[in-house]
Amino acid sequence: MMESAPPNPLGTLILLGLLMFIVYRILLSLSAQNMPKTGGGSSGANIFHLSDKRQNQPPALAKLVPYTGNKDPFDGKSEAVVSHKVLIEKGGLDRIGDFTIEEMPGFVIRAFTHPEKCLVGVIYRDPIDRVWVNLISEYKDGRIVTLSSAERGAVSTSRPSGMPLFNYPGLDTEQLLRRHKLDTRGVKLMPALAPEDFPGFFARNYAKLRAHVYEKEQQNADETRGATVVDDATAIEPMADNVDINTVVDDDIGPTKADLRNWLNRIYETVNVPKENRAQFQKGLVWIMDNSDVYSISQTISEYSGVTIEQVEQGRLVIRTESGAEDIIDPGDLKGPALFDKINSSIPESRRFYRVPVNLKGVSFYSKTAI
C-alpha cells in the first residue's frame, strides 16, 4: 500500500489566506451598506440618516376577550391572590371573569362588580409582571373616578375632565377599599354595573382616556413647533399643560395660545424673572379662572403640590400627605382664587403656591417658585 504524502504547509497557509480574504470582503461589503452617509461640503461633518423608529404607542382602542388558557393567568402572583380574596370578602364584589386585551398582548385582567352599587374592581397583570388593582365608580354627575394601587408610570396620569385618577402606589387592596368607601359616602353613584356590560364599560373608558392623551400629545407637538416663532421670553409650553381647560372654565372655552402668550408677557413685564430661570418658573406656574370650581381647583393643587385633596361627604375636602390627613376644609360657596387661597393656606408650608402679583381680569396666577 502506498503511503499518502504529508500535507504541504505552504498550500494550507495559502488556502487559509484565501478564505480569510473572502470573509473580509463579505464583512466589508455589509459594513459599507450600513455605514452612515456623509454630506458634501468642506466641513466634512457626518450626517447620520437614521430610520424613523418611533416608540410604540398604546392602541386607540381596547377590546376585551375572555381568557381561554388552561393555566390561572395570575398563578405565582401572591398579591393578586390576596386582592382577589379581599375584593370578595371585604368589598362584597362578585367575580366576572378573566380577560385579555386584543390590542395589547401580554395584558390580562380579572374583573369584579358589586351587585348593589356602581363599584368595579380590576386586577391587572402587565407584560412585565407588574400587578395592581383599580377601583372604578361612575357617579350621577357624570364623573368616572378611579382609585389605583399601580406603580408610577403603569397608568396614565393625564386624564380628561370628569375622569380623575387617585393613585396610591403599592397600597394594599383593603386600604384601597377603605379610601373608596370614604370618598363615596353621601355621594350619589350610578346603579350597579351588570357583569355583561363590563367589557363595553371598559372599552368606552379606555377609548376616552386614549383620545385625551392623543389630543394632549398633539397640543404639545403644536406648542413645540409654535415655540420657534416666538421669542424665548414668551414661549409658554409648560404653562399650557398645567391646567386642564375643560375643568376650569364653566363653558368649556379655554384661553387660546395667543392668550397664554399675552399672559406670560404681562407676568414678565410685572415680575422680574431672569430668562435663564423662566423655564423652571413656568413648570410650576398655574392659572385659576374666577369661576373655577372646587373639583378643578382641588385637582390642580393635588397635581402640582404633592399632596392629595379628596372630596368626601357633604362636599368637605380632606388634605392628605404621606404622613396621613393634614386638615379638613369646608369650601362652602367659595370658588376661583378665594377657594384656591383657602386650600393653599391649609397645605404644608413647604408645598404651598405663591401668588403672582399680576392684575388681569378673570384670571389669577400662582407659582411654586417664590417671587
Residue 8: per-residue pLDDT: 60
Note the helical H segments in the chain.
9-34, 78-89, 173-184, 198-226, 237-240, 245-248, 257-270, 278-283, 294-305, 336-344
β-pairing, 363-367 vs 285-289, is antiparallel
* Residue 20, number of CB atoms within 10 A of its CB: 10
Rounded distance between C-alpha atoms, residue 294 and residue 277, angstroms: 31
Phi/psi for 160 (5° steps) reads -75, 165
Q: Which of 299, 228, 243, 239 is nearest to 267 (CA)?
A: 239
Local confidence pLDDT in tens for the 371 residues of the chain: 445 555 565 566 566 666 666 655 555 555 444 444 433 333 333 333 233 333 456 787 889 999 998 899 999 999 999 999 999 999 999 999 999 998 888 899 999 999 999 999 999 999 889 999 999 999 888 889 899 999 877 777 677 778 888 888 899 999 999 988 877 766 788 999 999 999 999 999 888 888 877 776 666 655 444 433 333 333 333 343 333 322 233 333 456 667 778 888 888 888 888 888 888 888 888 888 888 888 778 878 887 887 888 776 667 788 877 666 567 778 888 888 999 998 888 888 888 899 998 888 888 899 888 87
Rounded distance between C-alpha atoms, residue 225 and residue 213, angstroms: 18
Cβ proximity of 239 and 285 under 8 Å: yes
Residue 244: per-residue pLDDT: 32
3-state secondary structure of 82: helix
Note the pTM of the prediction, 2 decimals: 0.49
Eight-class DSSP state of 43 = S
Q: How far is CA 291 from CA 73, 287, 296, 319, 340, in A?
A: 49, 12, 10, 22, 11
